[in-house]
Amino acid sequence: MLQQLRQLAVRLAVPAVAVTFDPHPIAILRPEFTPPILTTLLDRIQLLRDAGVDDVVVLPVTRELLQMRPQQFFQEVVLNHFQARGLVEGPNFHFGRNREGNVQLLRTLCHSAGLEFQEVPAISNAGEMISSSLIRELLSQRSLHAATQLLGHPYRIRGTVQHGAERGRTLGFPTANLGDVPNLIPAHGVYAGVSHIEGCTFPAAVSIGPNPTFADQRLKIECHFPGFAGNLYDQEIAVDLLAEIRPLRSFASVTELVQQITTDIRTCQELASAWITRSSAESTGH
């Protein structure tokens, strides 16, 4: 969709602008049914910019906006506010009060106003349309690899480093405990990842879930960054998850747990190093 948007913008000699809505309309109409987000607004904007758009506009979702009839939305938002010359949309886009407007109506309104309209067909995976709902399901079913393939990039969790039991430090593996994570937390397990901290990229060994060996059933996100030494408390950090290493399990002794953590960290370092090398080569075109 963004590729077609850029091509259309070049042909019309206008900026390519991506419009994103925030918050999710359900958060306004039926907040109790709001699905967990996959990306924070900050990360969403950055992903859109990385895809090559000239600008990103966040359209605040309010009850007033949601009560607009489709024709009013098109006139006031598309024509008057954005002064659009062309639109690119997917097949399942709805707009206006009670989702009355669809892609067919949007096409008709664009043609009537002299705007070029392009509809991008849905992309399917094994016959199922790729959607945020499908990706949420995969992440919740411990299918990080499949979710990453559909996303086109590693799945990112973002949170604030909080004080924990400091059990990892006593075992020789200090961890940053992430709290206030706004987006969907994947299924319990040990994951390999990378994180950008103080201008450098570090491998990350991430444990999501309880600590069964110590009978601690609290949900935690514990991140160990090999090679990093510093104080991260109260800082917001992001971790890009690359692969699931193993499920969580209880160990017969602390010694056995430490041996497994050592193996996990080595595996995470290898996966992170390979990902960093590949990403660097792709960014330089080699």
Question: How many residues would you count in the chain?
Answer: 286
Kindly state which CATH superfamily the domain 155-284 is placed in.
Riboflavin kinase-like (2.40.30.30)
Beta carbons of 102 and 90 less than 8 angstroms apart? no
Helix axis angle, 132-140 relative to 144-151, nearest 10°? 160
- Domains 2-122 and 155-284 fall in the same CATH topology: no
Mean pLDDT, to the nearest integer, of 240-250? 96
- Position 284 scores a pLDDT of 66
pLDDT of residue 156: 97
* Pairwise pLDDT comparison (234 vs 129), residue with the higher score: 234
Please provide the CATH number assigned to the domain covering 2-122.
Answer: 3.40.50.620
User: How far apart, in whole angstroms, are the C-alpha atoms of residue 250 and residue 213?
Assistant: 4
pLDDT tens digits for range 24-44: 889 998 999 998 999 999 999
pLDDT tens column, 176-205: 999 999 999 999 999 999 999 989 999 999
Q: Where are the domains of the chain?
A: 2-122, 155-284
